[in-house]
Amino acid sequence: MVWCVFIITHCTLFFHKFECTPINYICMRKYLIYLAFTLLGVFVGFLIFSSNDNHKHIQASSKEAKTQLWTCSMHPQIIKKEPGDCPICGMDLVPMKDGNSKSNSNKSIKLSKEALALANIQTSMVERTDISEHFDLFGRIRMNSNTKSIQSAHIAGRIEKLFINYKGEFVSKGQLIALIYSPKLVKAQEELLTALQFKETNPQIYNSIVKKLKLWKISDKQIKNLEKNKKIIENFKIYSDVSGTISKISVSKGDYVKQGQSLVELSDLSKLWVDLDVFENQISLFKIGQKLKIFVPNIHKEVSAKIFFISPTIDYNKRVFTLRANLTSSKGKIRAGMFASAKINIQKTDKIIIPASAVLWTGKRSVVYVKSSDENYSLREVEIGNKYGDRYEILAGLEEGEFLVTNGAFTIDAASQLNNKASMMTHKSEDSHSSMHDHKKISKSGAKSESMSMKKEDVSVYVKAYLKIKDALVSDDFKACKKYSKKLKAHLEEVDLKKIKAKKGRSLIKKMIKDLTSISSSENISSQRSYFYFLSNDLISFIKMNKRSSTLYIKFCPMANNDKGGYWIGTDKEINNPYFGASMLRCGEVVDTLK
């Protein structure tokens, strides 16, 4: 274009020098024709070269746009410029799409279709519904204290002979249970025989002595025999006032007893109680008068009963309330001390109920993930109510019509932590470094992957040693916990940290050694459980950075760690709580699976 302007300018100056003559006109016409062809060539050249430049620019832009990044579906922090295997889990990398795992909101995240498929993410619509749920309760048969009777001594004296021998023996009403020698009773008999002589002339004295003997439970028959035989009875017989089974014998032959002192305790074992345990978060579901079906293994059938008592306080050790119902023993087949189970039907109307698998516990907080219309998954804090089987009632935080993640919420939460977003372990204002996983922030330009360089066999050894520590805490075995902690510590101290490329991996091993040192030096099992919380968190992060040869289950108890919640690892789905042991063995649930 510049050249065209240059040529036109010079041609104009050139024509100004010519005079308008016929000869000059012919020459000028000749030059004009040359000039036209020159300008036409310049214009065509401009178009060609301009088109080439634009084409090159488009090609460069296209090439730049075609630059493909690759990531791992399960570990979005892994970003590479070429395909290959994930250095953490070994899975094939997938093409990274625009917007993969990106979101402007700190509380939402968007995952690729490949990640959603691999994590088996499932959603369902939030709805209000009526509840008709059967609850299974467990407890024991115990003696009914209202039927307990105490056979006492009606007069002071010495036990000369006992006719009852052992606890559990059945005693009928009126059965002879003991012989007693009482100086007072001997003296009263002498007075009666003397007064008998003046019965006609002074009946008042006679009647007062007879009345005194009856207060001591001397029967009319015994008094008549005394009057007839006129012989002092030194050892008086004591008969049982009620029928029942002996639950306690308080005296032995030769003992001196006071008036009113207990000789034997009797219980009516045909009328029993069944005490059932209810967790504190379920107590509002029950009330006095509710019907239930009780099943006792010994009789192999269900018995109808009603709740007549709910304990006003909670058992501190078991963390349960007690429901109590009356139970009638059929021919002595049901006995105190037996285990029993019960079924009770609970009905509620117009409630928002969601699967328990959708809820992530963080101690005081309960969170879920909700799918939005733009395919993002948003963290939502909810208030949960009663638990109905494997479902929770939602009191606040969810509305009808929303789509809730019912399976795979833990995986989405892990991806949120990896992308430095709000998660179950961090509020939106918190940094993800305070979370259990403590992952590094991923920059926009990509992140370098870290590899543990650890063999599957070595990881399995550490997991097995950890499981022995866990089992020791489940069994409330302080010494075994200390023993296995020392063994796992010795295994980890043998690791050559120089061979581990990942800085995070080296840090986790050092943390676990420190945790195990604290556990093995603890003076009580409560302290061991406190440090076990940190060991479990560090080991979970350690396992996620390594390949493993077996499936592991991550479990969570919301009441551990002073109600802040605590995780642990197991090889099956059965809940055996190491944070409470026998006192609350079944508290917890499976929240994730490591395959």
C-alpha dihedral sign at 421, 426, 428, 434: negative
Q: Is residue 274 within 8 Å of 305, Cβ to Cβ?
A: yes
**What CATH code would you report for 149-267?**
2.40.50.100
- Please determine, for residue 212, whether its predicted confidence score (pLDDT) is greater than 50: yes
Joined together, the tokens standing for residue 205 give: 């004295």
Q: Please write down the HEC assignment for all residues of 437-478.
A: CCCCCCECCECCCCCCCCCHHHHHHHHHHHHHHHHHHHCCCH
135: β partners: 344
Say what the pLDDT of residue 64 is: 44
What is the C-alpha to C-alpha distance for residues 349 and 359, in angstroms, rounded to an integer? Answer: 22
Confidence tier at 14 by pLDDT (50, 70, 90): very low
- Give mean pLDDT, residues 520-524: 89
Say what the pLDDT of residue 36 is: 57
Say what the pLDDT of residue 367 is: 85
Q: Please write down the HEC assignment for all residues of 521-559.
A: CCCCHHHHHHHHHHHHHHHHHHHHCCCCCCCEEEEEECC
- Give mean pLDDT, residues 189-196: 84
The average confidence (pLDDT) of the chain is 77
Q: Which CATH superfamily is domain 122-147+269-407 in?
A: Efflux pump adaptor protein, beta barrel domain (2.40.30.170)
- Give mean pLDDT, residues 167-171: 88
238: β partners: 178
Bridge-based pairing of strands 365-371 and 360-362 is: antiparallel
Q: For residues 66 and 535, which has the higher predicted lDDT (pLDDT)?
A: 535
- Give mean pLDDT, residues 158-168: 89
Q: Is residue 482 within 8 Å of 468, Cβ to Cβ?
A: no
Least confident among 49-53, 335-339, 477-481: 49-53
Least confident among 119-128, 333-342, 438-447, 515-524: 438-447
- Give mean pLDDT, residues 254-277: 89
Say which residue the tokens 């579901």 belong to.
Answer: 285
Distances (CA, A) of 458 to 46, 100, 147, 429, 546: 70, 34, 63, 38, 10
265: β partners: 150, 248
- Please determine, for residue 474, whether its predicted confidence score (pLDDT) is greater than 90: yes
What is the C-alpha to C-alpha distance for residues 445 and 9, in angstroms, rounded to an integer? Answer: 52
Say what the pLDDT of residue 282 is: 77
- Burial class of residue 363 (count of CB atoms within 10 Å of its CB; 0-12, 13-18, 19+): middle
Say what the pLDDT of residue 23 is: 45
- Give mean pLDDT, residues 9-23: 46
Of the CA atoms within 13 Å of residue 151, those in its CB half-sphere come to 28
Start-to-end Cα distance in the chain: 68
The pLDDT > 70 percentage for the chain reads: 76
What is the C-alpha to C-alpha distance for residues 187 and 287, in angstroms, rounded to an integer? Answer: 59
CATH class name, domain 456-594: mainly alpha
Amino acid (1-letter code) at residue 292: L
Burial annotation 522-553 (CB, 10 A radius, 16+ → b, else e):
beebeebbbbbbbbbbbbbbbbbbbeeeeebb
A 10 A CB-CB count for 383 gives 12
- Burial class of residue 80 (count of CB atoms within 10 Å of its CB; 0-12, 13-18, 19+): buried
Say what the pLDDT of residue 96 is: 65
- Give mean pLDDT, residues 64-80: 64
Confidence tier at 479 by pLDDT (50, 70, 90): very high
Please state whether the predicted TM-score (pTM) of the whole model is above 0.75.
no
DSSP output for 261-272: -EEEEEE-TTEE
What is the C-alpha to C-alpha distance for residues 518 and 496, in angstroms, rounded to an integer? Answer: 22
Distances (CA, A) of 169 to 148, 265, 268: 14, 11, 12
- Please determine, for residue 70, whether its predicted confidence score (pLDDT) is greater than 80: no
* pLDDT tens profile 112-125: 776 777 767 888 88
* pLDDT tens profile 394-433: 888 888 888 888 887 777 777 777 666 776 666 543 433 3
Q: For residues 521 and 422, which has the higher predicted lDDT (pLDDT)?
A: 521
